[in-house]
Amino acid sequence: MNELTVKQLKDMMENPIEVYTPTNKINCTSVKFQNRYYRRSTNADDRVIEFIQTTTNDQKETVIVVYTK
């Protein structure tokens, strides 16, 4: 089975996407999700998606939050 990458998801969706990659550095910018720490990334198009979550931003639009492997 093919695993979905961030770039493939971006090509399919029109909604804004925020991408988070795993990190070992725990600081004020790290986000804890399902017992792991993640940091926001702007160049993770080739990463495989592990979890997807949706939220709503200040402009009342749905934002797709992607956590990668």
- Residue 45 CA to residue 26 CA, distance in Å, equals 23
Q: What 3-state DSSP class applies to 7?
A: helix
Residue 5: band (very low, low, confident or very high) from pLDDT cuts 50, 70, 90: very high
- Residue 12 CA to residue 37 CA, distance in Å, equals 27
Tokens at 36, concatenated: 């792991």
Whether 1 has a pLDDT exceeding 70, the answer reads: no
What are the pLDDT digits (tens) for 48-64?
999 999 999 888 889 99
Do residues 38 and 50 touch, judged by C-beta distance below 8 A?
Answer: no
What are the pLDDT digits (tens) for 13-69?
998 999 999 999 898 989 998 899 999 998 999 999 999 999 998 888 899 999 999
Tokens at 15, concatenated: 């909604």
Q: What 3-state DSSP class applies to 19?
A: strand
